[in-house]
Amino acid sequence: MLNWEKIMEDRSNVENQHRRNFMIGAGALGIAPLLLSACQKSDDDHAKKPDSTPGSAANLRRRLGPLEVYPIGLGVQWNPGSGQAVNDLYASSTDRASGIALIRRAVDLGVTLFDTAEVYGPFLSEDILGEALQGIRDKVVVSTKFGFDVDPATGERRGSTNSRPDHIRQVVDAQLRRLRTDRIDLLYQHRVDPNVPIEDVAGTMKDLAAQGKVLHYGLSEPGLQTVRRAHAVHPVAAIQNEYSMLWRGPEAQVLPLCEELGIGFVPWSPLGMGFLAGTVSARTGFREGDFRAAVPRFAPDALAKNMALVRLVQGWALRKDVTPAQLALAWLTAAKPWIVPIPGTTNLVHMEQNARAASVTFTAAELGELNKALDAIHIEGERLPPAVMEATAVEAPPKH
């Protein structure tokens, strides 16, 4: 497998040396100052990135249901570590101050959609996001989630789901406090509650919208009929499901349903839990605390077979002069104009690279060729552990 980060580092070192040699010569001729601005412009164009000046990415916008957002969002899914450390699901860490700086840098780059949830932490991710967005809240779209049975005082997870209307209202009031805001732009039911009719949930969303507390709502990993029933009560703004080159299940029924009803689509795990970014090899062993250790498609035998997809992505990334992660994200945004992926990371450089994937495009011929190659690759192993899979595509009970 190609060591992508080493390739990019070597390429950057060579380019920097050429630039230094050229500028030394230019300095001897007395023309170096005239070249500096031109060199900087060339660098920015070559990187295919929006300028970091706030507002410069205004032309890179797309519809997400009733919302208008930057084509790439940011997932904030962090759990407490020791001291000030915060960890993601894949054994990557940062600290609270760095996490806040990462979020604010994303805003500088034009990112407008920030996705989190009550259960991430629990409470920690919402709290960090709320602190990070102080003073810039009106520039962004905040999405969060309810739906698990979490003790509102201690954060203890008390079992399965809880979407009873009184519980939803209690959760929303607590979320508003943690997020330090007067409204949630997009609130998802994290998983369908098999004990609560979706009409009750959608009706609660409608009431919260009338109060101005929740502007729009969505569903995560829902059953198809549940979407239709919810939409009939109060319009669903977005569906959030896993979707990437590694898991293309939504293409069969969910994306057509979104298109039919005018619902936006938000892929979670758009980089296949890091797999598509080129950070996983056939020999990778997942450490304790890494969610992928329990995922069947990352088991040793399956992982070795699935490396064919990594090789395809890396080959196309070299061809397009982008990172593998940028290639994978751009493929998602090219699929439909109302798809907005939300890659999560604790790494500032990776976040910046992901955000700049908004400027990567494909010709129709390229996209057709890439999709044909993807169709020929069989992915081995289920996408989630059995217990987690049981909570997907659930249909809510009927309303009596």
Write out the two tokens for 242: 């896993």
The runs of H, that is alpha helices, within 269-363 are 300-320, 324-335, 348-355
DSSP string, 354-399: HHGGGG----HHHHHHHHHHHHTPPPPS-SS-HHHHTTSSBPPPPP
368 contacts 294 by C-beta, under 8 angstroms: no
Q: Map tokens 């580092």 to a residue.
A: 9
Neighbouring residues of 291: CB distance < 8 A, sequence distance ≥ 6: 89, 90, 273
73 contacts 129 by C-beta, under 8 angstroms: no
Catalytic positions? 120
Half-sphere exposure of 227 (CA within 13 A, CB side): 28
As a whole number of angstroms, the distance between CA 66 and CA 237 comes to 6
185 phi-psi bin (left φ>0, alpha ψ -120 to 50, beta other): alpha
135 contacts 362 by C-beta, under 8 angstroms: no
Angle among Cα 189, 191, 196 to the nearest 5 degrees reads 80
Half-sphere exposure of 291 (CA within 13 A, CB side): 18
Buried b / exposed e along 170-190 (16+ C-beta atoms within 10 A):
ebbebbbebbebebbbbbbbb
Angle among Cα 85, 125, 177 to the nearest 5 degrees reads 125
As a whole number of angstroms, the distance between CA 284 and CA 299 comes to 10
